Structure 1
Amino acid sequence: MSGLSVTQASEIVDAALSHARELGLRPLTVTVLDPGGHPKVVKREDGAGILRPQIAHAKAWGSLGTGQGGAVGARHATRDPAFFAALASISEGRIASSKGGVLIRDEHGELLGAVGVSGDRPDNDEAVAIFGVEKAGLVADAG
């Protein structure tokens, strides 16, 4: 696979949002980034908070930047908050260590990008991110 297509990124976002509606979650924002941290697709549901796009981006970007899903980052941030405060400073505030940031891989483990979801509880954000990636036939790496 040569990379994540816009079609695949759209499928991830649409599947995640559809699943969120089935679960009755609060309004979400979902973003998919390429491996360089650039947006491929971003959708913000009606009623989602005005900071949700930035938070979703930071969850995905943080996963890319650390090479780990947001679940790992959240566990590390709890154990070593000073280190993650430093990461936030180093990244100029572009990183969020929280569930809801999931790496996207192909069947061979190649990194294709990351998805970030924001708007509900972190566990729910992560669940719909994973659902979207898997629905697109790719591998979700949440950590």
Structure 2
Amino acid sequence: MQSKPILTVTETTRIIEAARAEAERNQWLVAIAVVDDGGHPLGVLRLDGCAPIGAYIATEKARTAALGRRETKQYEDMINGGRTAFLSAPLAGTLEGGIPVIVDGQVVGAVGVSGVKPDQDAQIARAGVQSV
């Protein structure tokens, strides 16, 4: 039987706080979501002033990154590159801003961010990922 690390409340909190610090340092009003390796929400934070839909989009970006085992920007690039059939895939968060959390070569979850420009969403998500 294989074993792998999992995200606990401790890591989830650390990720959200690191992502929040990056967002606040830049004065970006965003939502931040952390999911486990199956895409199930572990934590969501919507900063004051972020549109309510941000929490939904952030969660879907995180879910897509976890299930797909890759950054969501790769899906966006495929679609924008002409692979429009991928739009029928059962993933709702195929926009930049979802980053998997990888520990010892295993995807253990993901972070999704929504609320600012795509590369800024990804910057915030990466700050969260780098905290673990």
TM over 0.5: yes
Structure 2 gap segments, 5+ residues each? none
How far apart, in 1, do the equivalents of 2:93 and 2:38 lie? 16
How far apart, in 2, do the equivalents of 1:2 and 1:64 lie? 14
Please give the residue correspondences for 1:115-126 in structure 2 after superposition, counting only pairs within 5 Å.
Answer: 115-126=111-122
Please give the residue correspondences for 1:1-143 in structure 2 after superposition, counting only pairs within 5 Å.
Answer: 2-25=5-28, 27-87=29-89, 91=90, 94-106=91-103, 108-136=104-132
Report the equivalent of 1:141.
none
Q: Secondary structure at the match of 2:125?
A: helix
Pairwise CA distance, 1:2 = 2.8
How far apart, in 2, do the equivalents of 1:121 and 1:49 lie? 14
Q: Secondary structure at the match of 1:124?
A: helix
Is the 8 Å Cα contact of residues 19 and 125 (structure 2) preserved in structure 1? yes
**TM score, norm. by length of structure 2:** 0.90
Root-mean-square deviation over aligned CA pairs:
1.4
Structure 1 gap segments, 5+ residues each? 137-143
How far apart, in 2, do the equivalents of 1:80 and 1:62 lie? 20
Report the equivalent of 1:139.
none
Taking every aligned residue pair, what percent have the same amino acid on both sides? 29
**TM score, norm. by length of structure 1:** 0.84
